[in-house]
Every structure is written in C-alpha cells, then in structure tokens.
Amino acid sequence: MNSAKLEMLNIKNKTIGGVFFEAATTWPEAIFFISPKTLVTPMLELSYSEALKRVNAYEHNFKKAGYGSGDRVALLLGNRVEHYLIKIATNNLGISIVPLNPDSSPSEVIYILNDSNSILLISDKNHIDLLNDINKKYSKYIEVFDVDSLKNLVPKHDKNSNWMNITPKSESSLLYTSGTTGHPKGCIMSHEYELMCGDSYRSIGPPVQLAINKDRIFNPLPSFHINAGVVTFIGSILTGNCLIQPMRFSASTWWQDIKDTKATIFHYLGVVISVILKTLNETDVDLSFIRLGLGAGVEPALHREFEDKFQIPLVEIWGMTEMCRIIAACDEPRLIHTRAMGRPRKGLEIKVVDDNGKEVPHGSQGEMLTRHSEKTPRKGAFSGYLGKPQETEIAWRGGWFHTGDTVIMDQTKMLYFVDRKKNIIRRAGENIAAAEIENCLLEHSLVLAVACLAVPDSIREEEILSCIILSGNSLKSETLAKSLFIHVYNSLAYFKAPGYILFVDELPITSTQKILKHKMFPNNENPLMKPNIFDFRDLKIRKNRKEKH
C-alpha cells in the first residue's frame, strides 16, 4: 500500500460508517480487531471484510426491529468486538450509542439510562449479575438485547422510527464523564468529532505516525472511554490498521499478549507503567517489533526507568472527552524527565490563563484553554453536555473551551501538566467526582460533613481520602470507619470507595459554607501521617470478582 491509500480515506463530509466501508473495501483481508487469548477463550482475529459482514447483519436486524434516527441504545459489553460492530451498525441508522462502565453500580447505570433516555440495553452473559440487579431497582422497563443469545434477535421497538440521511453533524455517541456536581455529564459526540479524533491520532507525526496497514495497536483501556473507544478505534480504521483489546489490563499477561498479537504500539496510563515496573523486572519476550508506547500520566522517574529497562520510547499525550484533538510530546528531545505533554498543533489552538481569563507569561501556571480556531472555535470538539446548555456555554466562555487542567507553557510552546483544577480525583485512569462520594457519605446518619480529595498513590496515581466530621458524640473508631467505607462501596462503583478515611473535628469553610479544600492541610502537611487515619485500600476489590484494583 502507498500513501495515496491514506488520502483515499479522508474524513471531509463523511460519517463513521462511510469511512469504515471504505476501509473494509480498501483493505478487506487486513485484520480489523484482535482479542488476545484468555484462560478460557482462544485468540480472536476479525478481518475488515468479516467485520463488514457482521456490521451489515446487525444493521439489518436493528432496522427490521424498528430502531432509527434519534434513538439511543446503551452498550454494556466491555472490550468485545461486538461493542464496535454494533456502534458502526447503529450509527449507520442514525442511532447513538451510550457506552456503560461494567464496574458501575446498578444505581449509576440507572441514572445514565434515565438521563440519556436509552431505549435498549445491549449486553452479554458476562454481565448477567449486574443486569439482574438493574432490573430489580429500575422503575422503568427497558428491553435487553443479549448478544450471546442463540436467537440473536433484537427486541422490537414499538415506535415508528425513521431513517433520515445521516450527516457528519449527527450524534454518534453519548459518553458520560465525571463532573463536579456529583452526577456524570453526557458529552454529545458527532460523526465529525469522532472522525477528527481519529484523524488527530493518525496525523501526530513521527515517531507516532501510523504506518498504513502495518500497525497493530494494543490498547488495554476500556471501550467506554474515548481513548480506546474513539481515538484508537477511528485512528485504526483511517489507516487500515488493527485494534487489539484485552478484556482489561493484566500485568501477568502484558508482554505475552503483545508478543502473541504482534503489536507495534501499546497504549498506557501512568498506573500501567508503574505496575509493570513493580511486577515485571525482566522479560524474555522479543520486544524489537514494538515501536513505542503512547499514553499519559507516567511519573518522570518511572518514565526514564522504563525506557532504560525495555528500550521502548513512551510518548506522552494529552486529550479529554470534550476536546480530544490530541497533542503529543514526540519531538526530540522528548523531555522525559518532565511532565511535558506536547505543543499546540494545526486545528488546536491553546492558551494558558489566570483565574481572570488573562493570558499568563511563559513559564507561569494557569488553566489550559483550547479551540479549533478563532473563526470556528468549536470545530473538532464535542457538541455539548446533554440537557445542560448553560454548563456547555460556561465551559466555552470567551470562545475558548476551559479544560480545567493547570499547565505551564514554555517559550517553545511546550506544555507541561501541573494538576487538575477541577475537583476530580484520577485513580487508575478513572475520573472520579469528589462530590459524588461526598453526597453518598452524607446519606449516612452519622456523617455531619465530609470533604473528599486526592492523595498521591504510588500505584494508581491518586487515591481517595475522605475527611469526615461525625454527628453527635459518635466514636471515631476503625469499626465505624469501615462501616462508612462499606456504605460507599455498596452504593457506588468499587473504585469510588474511599481508600482512606480520616475523622476530623472541623473543616475550613467560606462565609457561604463552601469547604476550602486547599486549606485543609496547610504547610504541606501530610494527611496520611495523621494518627486517626484508616487505610481501606486492600478492601477495594472489584465486585463479583476476587481481584484488587
């Protein structure tokens, strides 16, 4: 294949299904998707031509069942190829998908089903326990399509759906991302936006630049996140390449899976690199075919250690659900001893401002703002927050999208990540709203006030610390702390339960009773050294599985 083939798959005025059809007819025998072998299943390889046949079959079945433009269907499938096949098929009919996190609690899934107005839940045998719990608690009735059912019949839809022409502006996905108000917000994504995300990946430039029909991209991150589910997925299609997805990250099979699938690129989070260095000191697997790792959040000290040990460059990138025109720190020198994450690029202008919106000098900290251009600021961005037009406009105030990330830009326009301005805790790749945990804890009769914040964690980047004021004369005991942990653990996804609980007598507040979290531990005081702190990290085990995470 020559470079002209890449030009054939342009994204202008295209839809996701249209681009996939071009890829499948341009490279029919190329491998589209690989699922590595497990203890109970062999490795699955699906070519573009085989994938197209299955997409067409799903599309026919959904249309025959009565689904069409304007409908939304929720996907609870994990990292299965069916997630992507059904996405393409439903998108072709003007149906938007709502990916769900399999580790969510029933109440969290129900909130998203209600908020998104999803009319169908698509799942499989692996999530039967969660489905049963949802059915017990859901006040409405929602049809379920089991992709593992022998009948393989899509439940009938009782409204008269239409199949109007799908445009690049049509909604393709609704991805939920954590906010600071407790409940997640639905990010509306169009065909154009998703295609621009994939285009930003394929056009990063050397050494990342994808080779046409020659790269195999190993991405252990979840399909319900934008990294794997949009950026890597679409980037692979646009270049006739292969997406490799294990069901989840596993340190014990990491190098073997990469070898078995002949991956040339792998994706990572900081926690992945940390775990690999702590558990895999060496490997006899031939790594010469791996070009690089691509990811975010690796600690500078671990960055150098990994590259020295395995001789594989790790390229740091930046992106977010609302604005995933990714940037990458790929130019040499890559400044791996810093938190460098890339420079502005064509189609993504960036400036750094203070709290008053005034641009700060080079070398100073400030919030990172982005836009496509002055003329078309929102091109290549999400379409808005579902049902929250005011919040959308606030995020876009002044014609720039406010990322909530605190960064530094140097004189060469290199950006360095400092911290998250928003009240978000990032644990092992999951963005967790502190307000959601606080609201859950406040439901307990013995909790008078609470503040949740992030504390450093050597494995998972950040862990959740819950500082709690008890009501009345409640005893500040480990037994009570454990009961509060269990209360959250049983109510929310396991990873949202507090790793630490600290009982306090007071919390600093403003005149309007807002907690001043930045004043809770002045003078660089380490809260983890407090004598009355309780550590529950070992109890944070994925529900229905005996695994710590």
Q: Find the CATH number of the domain harbouring 471.
A: 3.30.300.30
Give the CB-side neighbour count of residue 489, counting CA atoms within 13 A. Answer: 19
Distance CA(281)–CA(283), nearest Å, equals 7
Distance CA(341)–CA(320), nearest Å, equals 13
DSSP H/E element including 351: strand 349-353
Place of tokens 């792998």: 266
Last residue of a domain, one of 283, 318, 342: 342
Taking alpha carbons only, the member of 146, 174, 171, 153 closest to residue 60 is: 153
Q: Which amino acid is at 504?
A: V
Residue 178 dihedral angles phi and psi, to the nearest 5°: -65, 145
Q: Using omega within 30 degrees of 0 as the cis cutoff, is the peptide bond preceding 377 cis?
A: no
Distance CA(433)–CA(501), nearest Å, equals 17
Q: What is residue 528's DSSP assignment?
A: G
Q: What is residue 421's DSSP assignment?
A: S
The residues near 534 (Cβ < 8 Å, ≥ 6 apart) are 478, 481, 482, 500, 501, 502
3-state helix, strand, coil in the chain (%, to 5): 30, 25, 45
The residues near 164 (Cβ < 8 Å, ≥ 6 apart) are 69, 94
Distance CA(491)–CA(106), nearest Å, equals 8
- Asked if 145 and 58 sit in the same domain, the reply is yes
Judging by DSSP bridges, how do beta strands 314-320 and 323-328 pair with one another? antiparallel
What is the pLDDT at residue 128?
92
Distance CA(201)–CA(238), nearest Å, equals 10
Q: Which amino acid is at 331?
A: D
Confirm if 17 and 88 have CB atoms less than 8 A apart: yes
Distance CA(211)–CA(234), nearest Å, equals 14
- Asked if 351 and 246 sit in the same domain, the reply is no
Last residue of a domain, one of 324, 342, 360: 342
Taking alpha carbons only, the member of 181, 170, 112 closest to residue 394 is: 181
Q: Kindly state the tokens that stand for 92.
A: 């072709």
- Asked if 170 and 44 sit in the same domain, the reply is yes
Confirm if 496 and 178 have CB atoms less than 8 A apart: no
- Asked if 75 and 174 sit in the same domain, the reply is yes
Place of tokens 């996905």: 173
**Whole-model pTM?**
0.85
DSSP 3-state assignment of 44? strand
- Asked if 293 and 399 sit in the same domain, the reply is no
Distance CA(305)–CA(390), nearest Å, equals 46
Q: Domain span at residue 370?
A: 343-422
Distance CA(387)–CA(187), nearest Å, equals 10
- Asked if 301 and 387 sit in the same domain, the reply is no
Distance CA(460)–CA(466), nearest Å, equals 17
pLDDT tens for each residue of the chain, 549 residues long: 444 444 558 999 999 999 999 999 999 999 999 999 998 899 999 999 999 999 999 999 999 999 999 999 999 999 999 999 999 999 999 999 999 999 888 999 999 999 999 999 999 999 999 999 998 889 888 999 999 987 778 999 877 667 678 999 999 999 998 654 468 899 999 999 999 999 999 999 899 999 999 999 999 999 999 999 999 999 999 999 999 999 999 988 999 999 999 999 999 998 888 889 877 767 888 888 999 999 998 888 889 999 999 999 999 999 999 998 899 999 999 999 999 999 999 999 999 999 899 999 999 989 999 999 999 999 999 999 999 999 999 999 999 999 999 899 999 999 999 877 767 788 988 878 788 898 889 888 899 889 999 999 988 889 999 999 998 778 899 999 999 999 999 999 999 999 999 999 999 886 456 688 888 998 889 999 998 899 999 999 987 654 444
What is the pLDDT at residue 32?
98
- Asked if 417 and 509 sit in the same domain, the reply is no
For CA atoms 75, 77, 80, 85, the dihedral sign is negative
Give the CB-side neighbour count of residue 324, counting CA atoms within 13 A. Answer: 29
Distance CA(242)–CA(218), nearest Å, equals 9
Confirm if 465 and 502 have CB atoms less than 8 A apart: yes
- Asked if 351 and 274 sit in the same domain, the reply is no
- Asked if 196 and 329 sit in the same domain, the reply is yes
Burial of residue 388, with CB atoms counted within 10 A of its CB: 0-12 exposed, 13-18 middle, 19 or more buried: middle
Distance CA(234)–CA(200), nearest Å, equals 10
Distance CA(80)–CA(122), nearest Å, equals 12
Residue 82 dihedral angles phi and psi, to the nearest 5°: -60, -30
What is the pLDDT at residue 8?
56
- Asked if 281 and 142 sit in the same domain, the reply is yes
Last residue of a domain, one of 422, 442, 468: 422
Interval 186-228: pLDDT, tens: 999 999 999 999 999 999 989 999 999 999 999 999 999 999 9
Question: How many CB atoms lie under 10 A from the CB of residue 128?
Answer: 13
DSSP 3-state assignment of 120? strand
Query: What's the CATH code of the domain at 352?
Result: 2.30.38.10
Place of tokens 């995933």: 324
For helices 16-26 and 191-202, the axis angle rounded to 10 degrees is 50
- Asked if 485 and 359 sit in the same domain, the reply is no
- Asked if 534 and 434 sit in the same domain, the reply is yes
Distance CA(530)–CA(521), nearest Å, equals 11
Query: What's the CATH code of the domain at 300?
Result: 3.40.50.12780
Give the count of domains, the chain: 3
